[in-house]
Amino acid sequence: MNNLLLARERSPRLGRGWSKALIALALALLITGSALARDALSPQEAPDLFFDSVYRMDYVQAWQILSGASQERILKLVLETEKDPRLQPAALRKLFESGDRAVQRGFWTQLRQSMDIEAWNQQNFTEVRAGGKPGESFVRVMPADIYVFVRQENQGWKFGFAESFVERRRPDGVAAPTQPSPMPAKSQNTGQNTGGAQR
């Protein structure tokens, strides 16, 4: 016990000002770290990170990257499909926001199976074309050579999943993809490519 007391007495003491400064520095690092983790996405990053999040099964992040219109469209679709009067839109939204297991097994699993997520995750999201309105753009997906819709919301870019695949919004003169996969479809009889996106 005496050795412990002696060690404490010999250790240099920092004044109260130093301890307050260290606490302030630690808090600043925590706050800054959180802010850096939530930086706004660029137009190219929004769809890229969405597909990567779905690929990694990080459905909370995938949901956050979706445009407000896409979130509303998905909520409406799930409510119509479930036909459960007890399921309210606000409660369903919370299930998506929290990454609820039932939503993971239902909606997100179905999306992964129908969208060829691995192929989407291998694409590059490159060139940006201005959309029809301010804060709207189209991002070119290569090598698939198709465009997806992004929208600026709350000082950051969000991926317009519903706008891209349900409403099929495209830049002028560019056709929408004919299938949910970015890879060209193969004919079952010949094995030849039938084309995923057409111009």
Cβ burial of 126 (10 Å; 0-12, 13-18, 19+) is exposed
pLDDT at 86: 86
pLDDT at 64: 97
Q: What is the DSSP letter of 123?
A: -
> Does the pLDDT value for residue 59 go beyond 90?
yes
pLDDT tens-digit profile of 72-87? 999 999 999 988 888 8
> Does the pLDDT value for residue 182 go beyond 90?
no
Count the neighbouring beta carbons within 10 Å of the beta carbon of residue 65.
25
Q: Where are the domains of the chain?
A: 43-188
Mean pLDDT in residue range 93-106: 93
pLDDT tens-digit profile of 168-181? 887 777 766 666 66
The larger pLDDT score, comparing residue 156 to residue 29, is at 156
Report percent pLDDT > 90 for the chain. Answer: 46
pLDDT at 6: 41
The larger pLDDT score, comparing residue 64 to residue 172, is at 64
Q: What whole-number distance in Å separates Cα of residue 85 and Cα of residue 36?
A: 41
